[in-house]
Structure 1
Amino acid sequence: MTEERICVGAISGSFGVRGEVRLKSFCADPEAIGDYAPLYSEDGTKTYTLQITRAVKGGFAAKLSGLTTKEEADAMKGTRLFANRDALPDLPDDEFYHTDLIGLEVLDTGGKSLGHVRAVHNHGASDLLEIHGPNLKATVLLPFTNDAVPTVDLTAGRIIADPPEGLIPDE
C-alpha cells in the first residue's frame, strides 16, 4: 500500500441472497465505518464503498460496491477492509490506533528493554499489549492501563511500562 491505511473492519460472510455481507466494524463508533470510504482491500488493489443496511447479531449487514450475488459476498469472507489514515478522526492525546503501538519497544521504568509490542488484544475488559522479547520464554500480556503503561512516546518509538509484580520473569 502506498499510503498508510488502518484496518477498520472485516467481512465475516454473506447476508441474504442479494450480495449483502456481514460486517464487523473495528471503529470506536461502529456505524461510522462507511464514513471512511473509500475502503480498500489489504493489498490496496480493490476499493469499495459501503452502505450499512441494518444491524445484525455480531455486526452489520452491508452493501459493498461491486457485489450483487450471495456467491460474490461469500467469496469476500475473511476480507479485511482498510481506510486511509487521514480519513480517520484525530485521537485525543491518551488514545492510540492499535497499528501505532505494534512494533514499539517496551522499556521498564529503569530503562531496561522488555521487548516489543507484537499485537494488541481486547477480550472485553480493556486492551492488552502482547509483548515479545529475547529474554522472555513466552509472550507476556501487559494490561494497557495508565498504571501499567504510564508513557507512550510514538515519536521516540517506545513505551515505558511498569508491569504488575511477577508479570515479567526476573533473569
Structure 2
Amino acid sequence: MSIFEAYQLTKPFNLSDLMLVLERTDTCNDEWENYGKQEKKMNNLLIVFGLIILLVILPSKSDLEIDDSSYDYTNSSDEDYSEEDEYTVKGEFVETDGKWMSCSSHADCYNYSEPIAWCRPTANQFWTDKGCFCEDILYSCVIERTNNGKLEYSYCASRENWQCP
C-alpha cells in the first residue's frame, strides 16, 4: 500500500473506494504467492544443479586406482575376489627365465608354460589352477603360484626348447 493510498483511507470514503483497496490487497497477496512459488522453483533448480555437479566431479569407480601392493593375500579367500579380478595378478613379481610376451586373450598364452626355474615346486609351493594366462592389466602371459603361503607371479616361458632339469 502506497502513502497515497494510506492518505486516502484517512479521508471519508465510500464503498467503491474500499472495494478498490481490497482488490489491490488481493493483487498484492497473489503477487506474494507467485513470488513464493518462484522461490520454491529456484530452490529446486539449485538442488538439481548441485546434484549434477556432484555427480560430474566425483570420480567413478573405474577411475579409482587401487594400490594393492601392501595387501597381504595370505589369509584371503576366493570370496574376496570378483570375476573381474580373476585374471589380474595380486601377488609379488618374481624375476625368472620367463619373458614378457604380449597377449590380448588367454588363447595367446596356450603355447607357453611355467618358467624353467619354477618347474619343480618345493613342498611349500603350489600352482594356482589357471596355468599361463593373459593378465588383464599387463597384457602379458603370466603364471601364479603360492610360495610359503604368499602369492607370486612371473612371466611364462616359451615351450620351444623347454626342459625341466
Give me the TM-score of the superposition, normalised by structure 1. Answer: 0.25
Relative to its length, the structure with more helix (as a share) is 2
Relative to its length, the structure with more strand (as a share) is 1
